[in-house]
Structure 1
């Protein structure tokens, strides 16, 4: 299996009234997060990565009409958790994460990738931020009101 590229997307899924969808990792019980995923190739456009990961992890299709991905043009650089470093090339310890969001209807069907996630929950954004294990994910959720012009 090839090494993961240390560049990824974070997609915060939310409703218009700031409920946030979190998904629990299958490989780490109690680790809740938004959609995340690495580029498949160095030349994969970030928006394509975000749309692919959104669909793979939740079954939600960003059609560009009713469900539109929004690029925040914001990046986070963080240390890769030691438990997951084996997925990357030797010596790689940091990841660059690009933040996106997508507003969906609360009734949107969620189909989790059973290989990656075991359950999902809709939470008010402050509760969602508190439940995230990743500080960059929590910070992005806390920024939702400002990003959407509601704060």
Structure 2
């Protein structure tokens, strides 16, 4: 299959394209690498129950890290990182964020954390599991825009 999943603009269904063949993904699809994005839009994270890959009971949190190499990191990003319960370490070379993401004993590669310095929100988690990503988005909705 192709690289990362894409989403229909109208219905938000996930799909992959490989050699001009479009495949709509089933609800329980698990990608080989973390490809289903979920923005971190709040100062607190609600994790869905279970492992972020297979939904079996989570027995541990696996660290996911992202480093913002810019020394002039937006103060709101640093504050959000600390409030998320992650470890935000500011050094002369930028800021590193760490989240502990729920995994079972069999999985350790179900998600990764990314920083997009010019985007709001700048923190994003990518999951391998389409179902887990959707549950995460339900528990962590985007805040309503102020009128």
Smaller-chain TM-score bracket? under 0.3
Query: Greater CA radius of gyration, 1 or 2?
Result: 2
TM-score (ref. length: structure 1): 0.26
Per residue, is there more helix in 1 or in 2? 1
